[in-house]
Protein backbone atom coordinates (compact mmCIF):
# COMPACT_ATOMS: atom_id res chain seq x y z
CA UNK A 1 0.00 0.00 0.00
CA UNK A 2 1.45 3.36 -1.04
CA UNK A 3 2.16 5.68 1.85
CA UNK A 4 0.99 9.30 1.51
CA UNK A 5 3.63 11.93 0.90
CA UNK A 6 4.77 13.83 3.96
CA UNK A 7 5.66 17.49 3.59
CA UNK A 8 7.42 19.63 6.16
CA UNK A 9 7.53 23.42 6.28
CA UNK A 10 10.54 25.24 7.59
CA UNK A 11 8.72 28.56 8.00
CA UNK A 12 6.22 29.18 10.79
CA UNK A 13 2.60 28.55 9.99
CA UNK A 14 0.40 31.64 9.88
CA UNK A 15 -1.86 31.67 12.93
CA UNK A 16 -4.92 33.85 12.55
CA UNK A 17 -5.87 36.17 15.37
CA UNK A 18 -8.95 34.78 17.14
CA UNK A 19 -12.11 36.78 16.41
CA UNK A 20 -13.57 39.12 18.99
CA UNK A 21 -16.40 37.86 21.18
CA UNK A 22 -18.98 40.00 19.37
CA UNK A 23 -17.84 38.64 16.00
CA UNK A 24 -18.02 35.10 17.33
CA UNK A 25 -21.60 35.61 18.52
CA UNK A 26 -22.56 37.24 15.23
CA UNK A 27 -21.08 34.37 13.24
CA UNK A 28 -22.79 31.81 15.44
CA UNK A 29 -26.18 33.48 14.98
CA UNK A 30 -25.60 33.81 11.24
CA UNK A 31 -24.65 30.16 10.82
CA UNK A 32 -27.60 29.04 12.91
CA UNK A 33 -30.21 31.11 11.10
CA UNK A 34 -28.89 30.84 7.56
CA UNK A 35 -30.42 27.42 6.78
CA UNK A 36 -33.86 28.62 7.84
CA UNK A 37 -34.11 32.06 6.29
CA UNK A 38 -31.59 33.85 4.16
CA UNK A 39 -32.92 37.33 4.86
CA UNK A 40 -32.55 37.08 8.64
CA UNK A 41 -30.82 40.47 8.56
CA UNK A 42 -34.29 41.95 8.05
CA UNK A 43 -35.77 40.32 11.13
CA UNK A 44 -37.17 42.66 13.83
CA UNK A 45 -34.09 42.37 16.00
CA UNK A 46 -35.21 45.20 18.26
CA UNK A 47 -38.35 43.28 19.24
CA UNK A 48 -36.44 40.02 19.56
CA UNK A 49 -33.87 41.74 21.77
CA UNK A 50 -36.58 43.32 23.91
CA UNK A 51 -38.27 39.93 24.36
CA UNK A 52 -34.93 38.36 25.31
CA UNK A 53 -34.28 41.11 27.87
CA UNK A 54 -37.74 40.58 29.40
CA UNK A 55 -37.16 36.82 29.61
CA UNK A 56 -33.70 37.18 31.14
CA UNK A 57 -34.92 39.87 33.53
CA UNK A 58 -37.88 37.76 34.61
CA UNK A 59 -35.68 34.75 35.26
CA UNK A 60 -33.21 36.88 37.23
CA UNK A 61 -36.01 38.25 39.39
CA UNK A 62 -37.40 34.74 39.89
CA UNK A 63 -34.02 33.31 40.93
CA UNK A 64 -32.46 36.13 42.93
CA UNK A 65 -35.39 38.33 44.04
CA UNK A 66 -38.37 36.01 44.48
CA UNK A 67 -40.43 38.62 46.33
CA UNK A 68 -40.02 41.19 43.57
CA UNK A 69 -40.67 38.54 40.95
CA UNK A 70 -43.98 37.54 42.54
CA UNK A 71 -45.13 41.17 42.65
CA UNK A 72 -44.15 41.58 39.01
CA UNK A 73 -45.92 38.32 38.12
CA UNK A 74 -49.10 39.36 39.92
CA UNK A 75 -49.18 42.73 38.17
CA UNK A 76 -48.39 41.41 34.68
CA UNK A 77 -50.93 38.57 34.81
CA UNK A 78 -53.61 40.94 36.05
CA UNK A 79 -53.01 43.32 33.14
CA UNK A 80 -52.98 40.39 30.71
CA UNK A 81 -56.32 39.10 32.03
CA UNK A 82 -57.90 42.53 31.77
CA UNK A 83 -56.78 42.78 28.16
CA UNK A 84 -57.92 39.20 27.53
CA UNK A 85 -61.39 40.02 28.86
CA UNK A 86 -61.63 43.08 26.63
CA UNK A 87 -60.80 41.07 23.51
CA UNK A 88 -63.05 38.08 24.31
CA UNK A 89 -65.79 39.87 26.22
CA UNK A 90 -68.71 38.70 24.07
CA UNK A 91 -67.44 35.12 23.84
CA UNK A 92 -66.96 34.80 27.60
CA UNK A 93 -70.33 36.39 28.28
CA UNK A 94 -72.03 33.82 26.05
CA UNK A 95 -70.15 30.89 27.60
CA UNK A 96 -70.91 31.86 31.19
CA UNK A 97 -74.58 32.42 30.35
CA UNK A 98 -74.75 28.70 29.60
CA UNK A 99 -74.51 28.10 33.34
CA UNK A 100 -78.17 29.08 33.49
CA UNK A 101 -78.97 25.87 31.61
CA UNK A 102 -77.27 23.45 34.01
CA UNK A 103 -79.99 21.01 35.08
CA UNK A 104 -78.51 19.64 38.30
CA UNK A 105 -79.24 22.76 40.35
CA UNK A 106 -81.67 21.99 43.12
CA UNK A 107 -84.76 24.16 43.45
CA UNK A 108 -84.21 27.12 45.73
CA UNK A 109 -80.44 26.68 45.81
CA UNK A 110 -77.72 28.49 43.96
CA UNK A 111 -75.59 26.73 41.38
CA UNK A 112 -72.51 25.17 42.98
CA UNK A 113 -69.51 25.99 40.78
CA UNK A 114 -65.86 25.09 41.26
CA UNK A 115 -63.36 27.38 39.55
CA UNK A 116 -59.86 25.97 39.09
CA UNK A 117 -57.14 28.60 38.89
CA UNK A 118 -59.25 31.54 40.01
CA UNK A 119 -56.15 33.78 40.24
CA UNK A 120 -57.29 37.38 40.79
CA UNK A 121 -60.88 36.67 39.74
CA UNK A 122 -60.94 37.63 36.06
CA UNK A 123 -64.03 35.45 35.51
CA UNK A 124 -66.13 36.84 38.35
CA UNK A 125 -67.86 39.59 36.32
CA UNK A 126 -69.21 36.97 33.90
CA UNK A 127 -71.04 34.70 36.32
CA UNK A 128 -74.85 34.98 36.07
CA UNK A 129 -76.15 37.43 38.64
CA UNK A 130 -77.23 35.97 41.99
CA UNK A 131 -77.30 32.45 40.59
CA UNK A 132 -74.02 30.84 41.65
CA UNK A 133 -71.91 30.00 44.66
CA UNK A 134 -68.26 29.61 43.70
CA UNK A 135 -65.59 27.46 45.29
CA UNK A 136 -62.25 28.87 44.18
CA UNK A 137 -59.08 26.77 43.93
CA UNK A 138 -55.83 28.68 43.45
CA UNK A 139 -52.28 27.33 43.99
CA UNK A 140 -50.61 30.76 44.34
CA UNK A 141 -51.34 32.22 47.76
CA UNK A 142 -50.42 35.76 46.71
CA UNK A 143 -53.42 35.87 44.39
CA UNK A 144 -55.83 35.64 47.33
CA UNK A 145 -55.64 39.37 48.12
CA UNK A 146 -56.47 40.31 44.53
CA UNK A 147 -59.26 37.74 44.40
CA UNK A 148 -60.92 39.16 47.50
CA UNK A 149 -60.79 42.64 45.99
CA UNK A 150 -62.46 41.36 42.82
CA UNK A 151 -65.17 39.59 44.82
CA UNK A 152 -65.95 42.83 46.65
CA UNK A 153 -66.35 44.52 43.27
CA UNK A 154 -68.75 41.77 42.13
CA UNK A 155 -71.20 41.23 45.00
CA UNK A 156 -73.53 39.24 42.74
CA UNK A 157 -71.08 36.31 43.07
CA UNK A 158 -70.90 34.49 46.38
CA UNK A 159 -67.57 32.77 47.05
CA UNK A 160 -68.37 29.99 49.47
CA UNK A 161 -64.82 28.68 49.86
CA UNK A 162 -61.36 29.76 48.82
CA UNK A 163 -58.92 26.86 48.69
CA UNK A 164 -55.19 27.43 48.29
CA UNK A 165 -53.72 24.31 46.69
CA UNK A 166 -53.33 22.27 43.53
CA UNK A 167 -56.26 20.96 41.53
CA UNK A 168 -54.65 17.51 41.37
CA UNK A 169 -55.82 16.91 44.95
CA UNK A 170 -59.04 18.60 46.05
CA UNK A 171 -60.14 15.86 48.42
CA UNK A 172 -61.71 18.48 50.71
CA UNK A 173 -64.55 18.65 48.18
CA UNK A 174 -67.01 15.78 48.46
CA UNK A 175 -67.98 13.43 45.66
CA UNK A 176 -70.88 14.66 43.52
CA UNK A 177 -70.86 18.07 45.20
CA UNK A 178 -70.72 20.64 42.39
CA UNK A 179 -72.93 21.38 39.39
CA UNK A 180 -70.23 22.77 37.10
CA UNK A 181 -66.48 23.30 36.88
CA UNK A 182 -64.90 26.39 35.32
CA UNK A 183 -61.26 26.68 34.27
CA UNK A 184 -59.70 29.21 31.90
CA UNK A 185 -56.02 29.39 30.93
CA UNK A 186 -55.16 26.94 33.70
CA UNK A 187 -54.97 23.29 32.63
CA UNK A 188 -51.88 23.94 30.51
CA UNK A 189 -49.94 24.75 33.69
CA UNK A 190 -51.13 21.75 35.72
CA UNK A 191 -48.53 19.09 36.42
CA UNK A 192 -50.92 16.16 35.92
CA UNK A 193 -53.88 17.03 33.71
CA UNK A 194 -55.27 13.49 33.84
CA UNK A 195 -55.42 13.64 37.63
CA UNK A 196 -57.14 17.03 37.50
CA UNK A 197 -59.75 15.65 35.10
CA UNK A 198 -60.22 12.65 37.38
CA UNK A 199 -60.91 14.97 40.31
CA UNK A 200 -63.36 16.98 38.21
CA UNK A 201 -65.23 13.80 37.30
CA UNK A 202 -65.36 12.79 40.96
CA UNK A 203 -66.83 16.02 42.31
CA UNK A 204 -69.38 16.66 39.54
CA UNK A 205 -72.93 15.59 40.23
CA UNK A 206 -73.86 12.35 38.41
CA UNK A 207 -76.25 13.79 35.85
CA UNK A 208 -73.71 16.42 34.87
CA UNK A 209 -71.04 13.73 34.57
CA UNK A 210 -73.34 11.71 32.32
CA UNK A 211 -73.84 14.75 30.10
CA UNK A 212 -70.08 15.17 29.81
CA UNK A 213 -69.64 11.51 28.85
CA UNK A 214 -72.29 11.69 26.14
CA UNK A 215 -70.74 14.71 24.39
Give tens-digit pLDDT for 164-207: 888 998 888 999 999 999 998 888 888 899 999 999 999 998 86
In this structure, the dihedral spanned by the alpha carbons of residues 181, 185, 190 and 193, taken in order and rounded to 10 degrees, is 60
> What residue ranges do the domains of the chain occupy?
43-87, 90-214
- pLDDT tens sequence across 66-84: 777 677 777 778 888 888 8
Per-residue pLDDT at 35 exceeds 80: no
Predicted local confidence at residue 211, as pLDDT: 42
What is d(CA 174, CA 183) in angstroms, rounded to the nearest whole number? 19
Residue 78: partners with Cβ closer than 8 Å, 6 or more residues away: 120, 146
Q: Which fold has domain 90-214?
A: Rossmann fold (3.40.50)
Q: Mind listing the pLDDT tens digit for each residue in 136-166?
A: 998 888 888 888 999 999 998 988 888 888 8
Amino acid sequence: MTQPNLYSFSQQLLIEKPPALLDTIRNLVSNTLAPFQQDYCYWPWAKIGAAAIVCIGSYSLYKYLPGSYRRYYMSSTRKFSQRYNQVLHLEKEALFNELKNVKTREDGRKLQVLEIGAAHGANMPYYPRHLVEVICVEPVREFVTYLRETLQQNPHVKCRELLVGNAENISVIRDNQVDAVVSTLTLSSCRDVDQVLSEIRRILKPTREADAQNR
